Each structure stands twice: as C-alpha cells, then as structure tokens.
Amino acid sequence: MTDIFRLIWGAITGFFRPRVDREAEIIALRHQLNVLRRKKPERLIFCNSDRFFFVWLYRLAPGILNALSIVEPETVVGWHRRGFRALWRWKSRSGAGRPKVPLEIRNLIREMSVANPLWGAPRIHGELLKLGIDVGQTTVAKYMNRWRRPPAPCSRRKWSRPPELHARARN
C-alpha cells in the first residue's frame, strides 16, 4: 500500500519539479534496471563506471536520491565524498624535487658570508665541502648575505645652464 501511495505522490509532485530533475530520475531508474538485469546476485556489486554514473547524476540533480531503490542514498553521497577525498589527496601530495636545505646550514652560510665579505659562493662552497657539508654552489649563492651597494653619487649639475646655452645658440 505504501508503495502505491509513493507512486501516486511521486506522479503528483512530478508536475511541479524542473524538467532536468525528472530526466535525471528517469535516467537513474533506467540505469538501475540495467544493472539488475545484468547481475542478479543477493548483494549487488557495482563496478566503478556504475558508481561514477550515480555520482555524476547526483551532481547533476541532487533530487535523484529519492528515486534510488537499489542503492541507499547515503551510499551515493559516500561515493561522492570518497571521490573528493581521493582528488584532494592526489592534489596535495608532496611534490618531488630538490630537498630543502636545513636551517643550520643556511645560517652557517650567512655567517660565513658576513664574516668573510671577500669570499664568494665558490670559496664558501669549497669550505663547506671541507667540513663535509654537501650543498651546491648555487644553493650557497642563494643563501649568502647580499651586500647592498651605496647609492650612486648625486650629480651636482645646474639645470639652469642648458636653457642659457640654447638661447645663445639661437642668436
């Protein structure tokens, strides 16, 4: 009796729902029938394409959760969440590349460059190799203390002179 009531209620409310929701519900029901025809075990076993299909329909029209009969609505939402979890786990994986230089070595490079301002990156690199610290020369250059040059001296020219010269040249 409740199934008939649900069917009549669904037909009445179907007139007031958007067309996209109705089409998504029809597609979901047809796909469920195809899955049931394909396999008739006691417990349905879905392949990844079936899971993807239901999740895609759920993204298209979340209202199809009411129409699902062979799958619990929470199951589809769980598949959806698992997909997002897998996506963000894949996106936030640690990238391969050059390992970071420890803070102690960076501070040592800065101290050596401050204490010996005439030493360049090749010399500091050589000294670090003697100490058994294996870092590249470009890494040493990257972490050296940068010396700022003093600003260029200001020119003391008077800019009143060029108009005078120009005036004389016209005469």
The per-residue pLDDT string of the chain (171 residues; one tens digit each, 9 = 90 and over) reads 555 556 566 667 666 777 777 778 777 877 877 776 676 666 667 778 877 877 777 787 777 766 666 667 777 788 888 888 888 888 888 777 777 899 999 999 999 999 988 899 999 999 999 999 999 999 999 998 877 666 666 655 556 566 666 777 666
Same domain, 12 and 63: yes
74 located within any domain = yes
Same domain, 117 and 50: no
Contacts of residue 119, defined as CB under 8 A and 6 or more positions apart, other chains included, come to 112, 113, 127
**pTM greater than 0.75:** no
Same domain, 11 and 81: yes
What local confidence, expressed as pLDDT, does residue 125 receive? 94
Domain residues for the domain of 118 are: 103-143
Give the C-alpha separation, 120 to 33, whole Å: 75
Identify whether the C-beta of residue 144 lies closer than 8 Å to the C-beta of residue 124.
yes
Same domain, 19 and 61: yes
95 located within any domain = no
3-state secondary structure of 169: helix
